[in-house]
Amino acid sequence: MGRMLKALSPRLMETGPVDLAAAPSDANFKRGRDAEGVEWLLLDMPGRSVNVVDGSMLEELDAILSELEKSPPKALVIRSVKPSGFIVGADIKMFRDLKSAGEVEEALRRAHAVVDRLEKLSCPTVAVIHGNCLGGGLELALACKRRLAVGKAKLGFPEVMLGLHPGLGGTYRATELIDPAEAMQMMLTGKTKSARAAKRLGLVDAAIEERHVAAAVSAVAKGEVKSAASSGLMDKALSTGPGRRFAADRMRSKVAEKARKEHYPAPYALIELWQEHGGDRKAMQAGEIRSFASLLVTDTAQNLIRVFFLREGLKGEGAGKSGIGHVHVVGAGTMGGEIAAWCARSGMTATLEDLALAPIGKAMKSASRMLEKSLRDPLAIRDARDRLIPDPKGYGAAKADLIIEAVPEKLELKRTIYATLQEKMRPGAILATNTSSIPLEDLRAGLKEPGRFVGIHFFNPVSRMQLVEVVRHDQLSEETLKTTLAFVTDIERLPAPVASSPGFLVNRVLTPYLLEAMLLLDEGVAKEVIDEAAEEFGMPMGPVELMDNIGLDVGLAVAEELRGRLSTPIPEAPAWLRQKVEKGELGRKTGNGLYAYGKDGKPQKKKPEGGAARAELADRLVLPILNTSVACLREGVVKDEETLDGAMIFGTGFAPFRGGPMHYARSRGVDEVVKRLSELAEKHGERFRPDDGWSQLRRETREAA
């Protein structure tokens, strides 16, 4: 039996000899008792790279608990065999199958009964947690009497990202176990805690290394491990109604700074649940079930669940490993420096070349700040710094697996650089451009091997923007495309395959949105009113402020690059915008643009007053996004609506709770969108003329009906 355990996972050999009970190949749990009488439940869901909470797993656990109630072991241990971690949460696919709140409530009651049964088991119970322990996985662990976090375990409640809150007992078990304010903060933000941080909070009872698991479990079985949770003054203050009301009001204010209740109701529902029922477990459990069920059937939750699958779809584009270990970046400007730093952060050797030393020095300083902020671990920061190598002479180009050019958007400059690079590159290396708008067909002229030339378009700032456009052209080899897509996922970014065309996808779709805001300013509409209309629709930032963040010079250059080159009309930018660029008023980076910026880097805004109807403004801003999206689909710039929606959400922040531009268009109604575009075209001009691609969508909609 020891050989069977070893075959399951070498990680678990430190648990000692376990006599595993025979289990069917499709079983979720492998079971066995060790010499001390400790029962081990090893979770290894078949056909999955991760463990999840689903109906089959809970049903199997329920049957095991029924058996253990009759013959209790000295202790029960639940742990995962998967290298990826403990349990990553509930199976989100289940959420798509439940259509009514009543149906959801019934399913939740059955799930709660199993978890409650685990909590009531008479013997000591311990969850041994490694890797990811999230959502329903953490809720299951909270039902155990003790929790041991191993190595670099991460614990959290990410449900808010799906428009939900914990629904398997997490709302009351977490607020009972640790400081309620800390527990609420975890649930409201979705942020994870490291093993050590979880130990400090009392969320786990010990943070240990794998080699100490067997001894720690033995100590739990003997009653030698006490709970790390402790009741403090804050716990007592928040156990009263007035204390909870005061804390809840502060929580609402903080949430309101980032999310509107009408757009994202889940955090507000969680706060209300805790304020009303905190301290009353029975009422809290019933309220949690009702609240979760009502949230799950909302459009917001269903659309955010859709966004989860859009993310998984983009990640799937880069399946497999790229094999890229050395990246050479040419151009140490803002983008080039961040690209090199991010590659070094991701474990690759990154050499950074520029004609001048000053930009490299500036980039190295910026990289150091980014690494400190994002990694935090001193050893990881040191190692990443060591992998980032200033290379003014460009020696790294001869050794690199991938060379990324990130110089200014000047065609002849890029071609000159390519001519030099292709003489240095080793056989099989890939040459990539970070161009944001120049078609690759123009750039590849003169290349000896255009099949190994690809676009890798990052967005600024690289450390925060998840999307990367991988730009193909008709001479690109499939091997290069596959390797490039995998490289993007290797550096923990989301690859969106797009065709080479002016502006590619994101910039092309975003430009009409930004220019319409400039035209509204030209008409005299207050910038604050324009931004508020977009934010009321659900954009994370209004287009005027976004233009300042991009840089007026960059936004204007992209617009002029696209004008006259597309099937969808791009209006001419107002003359005053060019004048601002000429005067050096470029936006946030210069401290003055469309807004003025204070020392804190924030725009100085006035409170919006009056102005045009917000819905009218929102249509003028958002419908050009939909129209251009349809044009991109019709022209084959992007392969399908899912890729387009995912790219626009993760590349621009397009209102996630609406599910993406195309999903929003279908939800609003294709005929309604076309009608509204036609009305705006009559009133404001040809730039609103409905694209021919709407006809195809209309046919598909009618056929589906």
Active-site residue list: 457
Helix residue ranges, H only, 121-210: 136-142, 170-177, 180-189, 195-201
Tell the residue number behind the tokens 């009741």, with chain if given.
Answer: 231
Dihedral sign of CA atoms 512, 669, 101, 306 in order: negative
Q: Which one-letter amino acid corresponds to residue 248?
A: A
Secondary structure (H, E, C), 504-561? CCHHHHHHHHHHHHHHHHHCCCCHHHHHHHHHHHCCCCCHHHHHHHHCHHHHHHHHHH
SS3 607: coil
In this structure, are residues 195 and 85 in contact, taking their beta carbons and an 8 Å threshold? Answer: no
Phi (first) and psi of residue 180, to 5 degrees: -55, -35
CA atoms lying within 13 Å on the CB side of residue 385:
17
Q: Which one-letter amino acid corresponds to residue 671?
A: D
Distance between CA atoms of residues 679 and 615, nearest Å: 14
Structural tokens at position 389: 């190598």
Reference 467, options 310, 355, 329; nearest CA is: 310
Reference 511, options 567, 472, 561, 466; nearest CA is: 561
Q: What is the DSSP letter of 609?
A: -
Q: Which residues contact 646 (CB under 8 A, 6 or more apart)?
A: 307, 310, 311, 313, 314, 494, 496, 660
Percent helix, strand and coil across the chain, each rounded to 5?
55, 15, 30
Which residues is 20 bridged to in the sheet? 32
Structural tokens at position 624: 């050009």
Residue 227: burial class (beta carbons within 10 Å; 0-12, 13-18, 19+): exposed
Reference 660, options 249, 288, 142, 313; nearest CA is: 313
Distance between CA atoms of residues 275 and 238, nearest Å: 9
C-alpha to C-alpha distances, 235 to 172, 232, 243, 275, 586, nearest whole angstrom: 13, 5, 10, 14, 50
Omega prior to 461 cis, within 30 of 0: yes
Say how many C-beta atoms besides its own lie within 10 A of residue 424's C-beta: 16
Structural tokens at position 241: 């109604």
| DSSP letters for 668-682 | H-HHHHHHHHHHHHH
Which residues is 125 bridged to in the sheet? 76
Reference 134, options 190, 82, 189, 183; nearest CA is: 190
In this structure, are residues 551 and 589 in contact, taking their beta carbons and an 8 Å threshold? Answer: yes
Strand 402-405 to 430-433 pairing: parallel
Distance between CA atoms of residues 288 and 265, nearest Å: 14
Distance between CA atoms of residues 185 and 25, nearest Å: 41
